[in-house]
Amino acid sequence: MPEFPAVWTASFLSDFLADQLIPALNRGLWVTLALIFPSATLGMLLGIVIGSFRTFGPKPIRKLADGYAVIIRGTPLVIQLFILYFGLPNLGIYFEPYTAAVIGFTLCSSAYHSEYIRGGLMSIKRGQMLAAQALGFSRIKALVWIIIPQAVRRALPGCGNELVYLIKYSSLAYIVTCIELTGEGKVIASRTFRFTEVFLVVGLYYLALVTVASYGLHTLEQKLYIPGFGRGDR
Amino acid sequence: MESLIAVWEAFPYLLQGAVVTIIAVVGAMGLGLLIGVPMAVGQVYGNRPVRFLVGLYVWFFRGIPVLVLLFLFYFGLFSLMGLNLNALAAATLVLGLTSAAYQSQIFRGSIQSLSQGQLKAAKALGMSDFMGIRTIILPQALRLSIPGWSNEYSIILKDSALAFVLGTSEIMARTHFVASRTYQHLPLYITAGILYFILTWAGMRALRGLERKTRIPGYSHG
Amino acid sequence: MKKTLCFMLTLVLSLVFCGISAAETEYINGIDANFPPFAYVDKSGKPSGFDVDSADWIAEKMGFKVKHQPVDWDGIIPNLIAKKIDFIASGMSITPERAEKVDFTIPYWTIKQVFVAKKGADVTVDDILTGNKTLGVQQGTSEADWLKENAEKNDWNFKLRYYNSAPLAVEDVLNGRIDAAAMDDAPAEDAVQKKPVKILGTFGMKEERFGYAVRKEDTDLLRTLNKGLEMLMADPYWDELIAKYNLKEK
């Protein structure tokens, strides 16, 4: 049998959980948060840009952006991180572990975001662009001030899902030596052989993060909701 | 040049890894289907406790990273349950349990998009609930689920790469082994990426074929 | 259509789960396949290396079958305890912490831990320890634990970075991201032969000895392996193996 205390005694709780595990995991939690926030923001912005390119860009740019999305969505994130971290130095490009992880997460989630944004953009009637141009907006301005704000609202549920994915996949950062929540857990688990306890607690941390994020996104969706601008209009 | 030789020599070995990957993915998809369909039915037609339990399951498996679940189950829970699974079986099982949570939500969406009058009509014709769901609702709902399902395939395929942390000798683990011996990390990982890309593409195509094959002429939804 | 689908599913699932039961006389040796020259996979994808060949020889002489199963190093002892593998012949250092969990055979090899740096890099072991450098180690190794503990005691100020395998740490030495990697001398020699890196020297960690690990309750297997190791080390084949894998006896 693996190490699993028959009774989780008070001393076990204080010695192992309070003194060892929780401080380490809290340290890891900060790293995880420091990974998620920039990656989520940059990923969303880049996703909007790429999604717009894929919908309204001139043909070569459209093809390029499509190709980008297809390649990123067709390969595992862990391979992308390996190439980014261990591979790019062959070309003279060096990233620190944290930077490599943030770049990897940003690129990956931007590809997925672009998919939802594209769907949102296509759901906005073509006539709106023409109307905006008739009112004297340039194409870019119409896109930024009229089309995208609506499209983002439509894309929000999908993008919210993507954010939840990002929280979970931030656990891959330890593979490129950026020790975050999962990495801290793994270090302790392999030293103490308490895999069950450690990863149950790590799991709870993620559940909390994901639950809070989902709740926040739901609230945001409600906040941004425009009465009458529902899911119809297709 | 040295790197091309390394890739060339490793290629058959990596291809065998692709077979392991496919076994894990197909197994996980199948398991997810077997558990996911009853869960979806339970969530739509079940009573409160059933709905609560399914909701709890989905919350748990969708809220924890696959990597953490792999560690938790393989080294922890499976052993506690007395299940002595090898790495491939354990990874397949964990991926399957996770996928069940996602698949149940795909099926739930499809079931809910069908008009609720259908089940009433079936009952009026003398069918039991079970029979109505099995013969009327599910055949339609499963068809509608294929696009969501092909998306799920691509996710599981990519998640299966994480099984390397258990030592499952699928594509990713094998790439790491060969890279350790030859020190040709970049070309080998690019090759692995291409293999995954081909598998994603081929699987999506096959599922699109399935969608076309099972389509009922004249039946449009929505 | 439905039937074939069901059939295929059953087939695949049973394929996946059939590996659970193994024949009685077969033992599974868990290896870190990222640890050349002691254990790795060769060009044809077969497990090989000094420890793999040794275990094969012992199995043949002692009359059991052996299968070599690559396992993530970090979880190799939990794997052993959870009976996913039966013993570990894969360059495992005998340490008191590990000996609390598992039993070790007689030691069969002595290794030193060394620092590996880029060829031409102008650093010494002392620079690495006290010069604000970054140092890579493989997660779950004795050197990782030792460096972490002793850094606090000795006021060393390097930053530790954890890798999944020693070769990945060497890769990052080459990339210039870390100043040195700490690892066993034999895999370090292997890296020197393949890449422009050099061995800086030992860094104060006591010599360690490799042994095979078994579960505490498997006393029969321990006896068998001990006897096999004694026979092997007395046999000319031992020197052949040492030559084959380019190891230097110290």
Q: What is the pLDDT of residue A191?
A: 77
Q: What is the pLDDT of residue B93?
A: 96
CB contact under 8 A, A182 and B67: yes
- Give the DSSP per-residue string, B133-145: IIIIIHHHHHHHH
Q: What is the pLDDT of residue C9?
A: 64
Residue C250 has pLDDT above 60, yes or no: no
What would the pLDDT profile of B66-116 be if each residue is shown by its tens digit?
999 999 998 888 877 877 788 899 999 999 999 999 999 999 999 999 888
Chain B hits for C52, CB-CB cut-off 8 Å, are none
Query: Min CA distance, A33 vs chain C (Å)?
Result: 20
Chain C hits for A190, CB-CB cut-off 8 Å, are 74-75, 78, 139-140
Q: What is the pLDDT of residue B83?
A: 79
Q: What is the pLDDT of residue A8?
A: 60
Interface of C with B (CB under 8 A): 8-9, 12-13, 15-17, 19-20, 33-36, 40-45, 69-72, 75, 78-79, 82-84, 164-168, 170-171, 191, 194-195
Does the CB of C225 have a partner CB in chain A at under 8 Å?
Answer: no
Which residues in chain A belong to E strands, given as ranges?
none
Look at A57 and C15; give whichever has higher pLDDT: A57
> What number is the ipTM of this complex?
0.89
A193: nearest CA partner in chain C = C78
CB contact under 8 A, A86 and C175: yes
Query: Min CA distance, A98 vs chain C (Å)?
Result: 12
pTM: 0.85
pLDDT band at B159 (very low <50, low <70, confident <90, very high): very high
Residues 6+ apart with CB under 8 A from C163: A177, C136, C137, C138, C139, C169, C172, C181
Structure tokens belonging to residue C166 = 């020693």
Mean per-residue pLDDT over chain B, rounded: 91
Which of B24, B26, B183 has the CB atom closest to C194's CB atom? B183
- Which residue is it, tokens 């420091």? A34
Residues 6+ apart with CB under 8 A from C164: A175, B176, C34, C72, C73, C74, C138, C139
CB contact under 8 A, B185 and C83: no
Which of B33, B89, B177 has the CB atom closest to C33's CB atom? B177
Does the CB of C72 have a partner CB in chain A at under 8 Å?
Answer: no
Q: Which of C101, C145, C168 should one mutate to test binding to chain A, selecting the residue with the greatest count of A CBs within 10 A?
A: C168
Q: What is the pLDDT of residue A84?
A: 92
Per-residue pLDDT of chain A (234 residues; tens, 9 = 90+): 444 444 566 677 778 888 889 999 999 999 999 999 999 999 999 999 999 999 988 999 999 999 999 999 999 999 999 999 988 887 888 888 999 999 999 999 999 999 999 999 998 888 898 999 999 999 889 989 999 999 988 899 899 999 999 999 999 998 888 999 999 998 888 777 788 889 999 999 999 999 999 999 999 988 988 887 755 443
CB contact under 8 A, A94 and C177: yes
Chain C hits for A195, CB-CB cut-off 8 Å, are 75, 78
- Which residue is it, tokens 């004795």? C142
CB contact under 8 A, A82 and B64: no
- Residue B122's closest CA among B105, B111, B137? B137
C37: preceding bond cis by omega (within 30 degrees):
yes
Least confident among A46-50, B145-149, C17-21: C17-21
- Residue B148's closest CA among B42, B44, B45, B29? B29
Sheet holding C197-202, edge to edge: C159-163, C134-138, C180-184, C113-118, C197-202
